[in-house]
Amino acid sequence: MERWWVPDVAILVMCAVGISLAFALQPGPDLVSVFGWDIPELCGFKRLTGYPCPGCGLTRSWVYLAHGNWSTAWSMNFLGPVLFLTAALQIPLRGFRLWREALRRRRVARARALAREEECPSCPA
């Protein structure tokens, strides 16, 4: 069985989960929290060297964006707003691609069934 839908569904789910988590978390200057519990810093590079990596601040940037604080989000990591917008646009894009491909496959299957019926009207389907 062909699994044509797997890449689009995987991207759609990852983007939806990421944006949903951004709305669920609460922003802070150094950490983000969920239900009042601070989530520890997870950057291995910063823990080892003490210097931030290019990805440091992305989570806080997304959380600030989800809560409407655009200027602080931009200051946390300038790629945050770009990646957030990209992820947000993937949700309707992937949904449309899945819908369009499902319709196309349904039309093709219907055309094949009609062609088989025309070839042999008395044959079982």
Tens digits of per-residue pLDDT, 73-85? 999 999 999 999 9
Could you tell me if 22 and 61 are in contact, meaning their C-beta atoms sit under 8 angstroms apart? no
Angle between helices 58-66 and 79-119 (to 10 degrees): 80
Tens digits of per-residue pLDDT, 100-114? 999 999 999 999 988
Buried/exposed code over 26-35 (b: 16+ C-beta within 10 A; e: otherwise): ebeeeebeee
Q: Which residues on adjacent β-strands are paired with residue 37?
A: 34
Would you write out the chain's pLDDT as a tens digit for each of its 125 residues?
689 999 999 999 999 999 999 999 998 878 888 888 888 888 889 889 989 888 888 999 999 999 999 999 999 999 999 999 999 999 999 999 999 999 999 999 999 988 888 887 777 65
